[in-house]
Amino acid sequence: MKALKLPKGGIKPRPAVLSMAPYSPPTGGRLDKLRLDFNENTVGCSPRVIEALKTQISAGQLAVYPEYSQAKEAVAAYFHVKPERFVFTNGTDEAIQVFVNTYVDDGQEVVMLKPSYAMYRFYSEVAGARIKEVAYPYPAMEFPLQEVLDAITPETRAVIFANPNNPTGTGISLLGIERILHRARKAVVMVDEAYYEFSGVTALTEIERVPNLFVCRTFSKVFGMAAMRLGCLFSHEANVALLHKAQSPYSVNSLAVTAAQAAIQDPAYVETYVAEVLAARELLCFGLEKLGITYVPSSGNFVLGHFGKRALEVRDALRGEGILVRDRSYEAPGCVRITVGTREQTRRLLAELEKVWNQ
């Protein structure tokens, strides 16, 4: 880690912040490339979203602080929940932050998995939590249910995991989640369902019944709206009232909620995209098999391939051809994560990969 630099006469930050490794966000210049590196929607959002942003946003509207009630009604109906059972968040990232801020104090234990989405650790570290990590078994990367159950003790304050998980693509059944919820009944449990639409497994139906369950969804992935930064954090309505207390009142902007309302009016767009990705995922896996590259079977819109010592070489060579994929070797040795887009995009990727791999 780089040595700490303070301005002359500057004040040291909190020890929790001081000891954190800096997080490196994606580099710029991705727009003109085939972006198979961040699990985004590779064809973009529904045209209805763009239309709504063009026609429904006025100067008057931009001058006032956002109002959420109409959008909440619409989004609640889409997710089949009552509006009292969720908060809008500035992406899943803010959902994780609000969840941690509401429940986790300095020094309390948060159980999470590794490798997983970096922001669970990030916000837990900022809060000064003690982090207990359970490893996905390498190379199969199946959800380590027994190990997670064993890691949960009376000391555990929160458990956070993604279903399906990024970057492994592996998921856990609702029965497995029930076991975790029961074992962690004295703790809060957050299930991040950023890739739900590709897996079809959800715990959202259980929030009314299970008092320690929190589920988040995002508009960043299948809806193709990562730039808008909109997520939803669901729980029992009594918990949601507490989450509201710990959340900034206007963290979600008016453009995001306008866009979301348009997006949910076009469910066919999402269904078509999911069907395309699932077909493309088969194509990708078959293509990897033909090249002799092993991979982790995925229930998300991405696949983690084992490239061994050639991981970085493959990533760099593909980048040279305008195709971005994500090296994950720093947390999963020899692994590169490839986002699945359309079949056409997958064919282009496979054609380039074949050249690189057989060189």
User: Which tokens go with 152?
Assistant: 């949960």
Q: Which is nearer to ligand PLP, 33 or 310 (CB)?
A: 33
Phi, psi of 32 (to 5 degrees): -90, 10
User: Which tokens go with 129?
Assistant: 């939590």
Angle between helix 254-264 and 267-291 (nearest 10): 80
Burial label for 145, CB within 10 Å (0-12, 13-18, 19+), is middle
Q: Which is nearer to ligand PLP, 39 or 346 (CB)?
A: 39
Q: Which is nearer to ligand PLP, 135 or 351 (CB)?
A: 135
Least separation, in Å, of the C-beta of 228 and ligand PLP? 9
User: Which tokens go with 169?
Assistant: 């693509």
Least separation, in Å, of the C-beta of 123 and ligand PLP? 11
Q: Which is nearer to ligand PLP, 203 or 356 (CB)?
A: 203
Least separation, in Å, of the C-beta of 5 and ligand PLP? 29
Least separation, in Å, of the C-beta of 142 and ligand PLP? 17
Q: Which is nearer to ligand PLP, 42 or 92 (CB)?
A: 92
Instruction: Count CB atoms within 10 A of the CB of residue 320.
Output: 10
Least separation, in Å, of the C-beta of 124 and ligand PLP? 14
Least separation, in Å, of the C-beta of 107 and ligand PLP? 26
Least separation, in Å, of the C-beta of 194 and ligand PLP? 4
Least separation, in Å, of the C-beta of 131 and ligand PLP? 17
Q: Which is nearer to ligand PLP, 295 or 350 (CB)?
A: 295
User: Which tokens go with 47?
Assistant: 């045209």
Q: Which is nearer to ligand PLP, 261 or 301 (CB)?
A: 301
Q: Which is nearer to ligand PLP, 194 or 356 (CB)?
A: 194
Which residues form the interface with ligand PLP (CB under 6 A)? 39, 91-93, 117, 162, 166, 192, 194, 218, 220, 226, 231
Distance of CA 175 to the CA centre of its chain: 22
Phi, psi of 291 (to 5 degrees): -85, -5
Cα separation, 255 vs 250, in Å, equals 12
Tokens 């469910």 correspond to: 267
Using Cβ positions, the residue closest to ligand PLP within the complex turns out to be 91
Q: Which is nearer to ligand PLP, 91 or 171 (CB)?
A: 91
Least separation, in Å, of the C-beta of 101 and ligand PLP? 16
Cα separation, 247 vs 262, in Å, equals 25
Which residues lie closer than 8 Å to 32 by C-beta, 6 or more apart?
322
Least separation, in Å, of the C-beta of 119 and ligand PLP? 7
List % helix, strand, coil for the chain (3-state, nearest 5): 45, 15, 40
Which stretches within the chain are classed as H helix? 15-18, 47-56, 59-63, 69-79, 91-103, 118-126, 145-151, 174-183, 196-199, 237-245, 254-264, 267-291, 311-320, 343-357
Q: Which is nearer to ligand PLP, 152 or 194 (CB)?
A: 194
Phi, psi of 167 (to 5 degrees): -100, 5
In this structure, what DSSP letter does residue 4 have?
Answer: P
Cα separation, 186 vs 171, in Å, equals 24
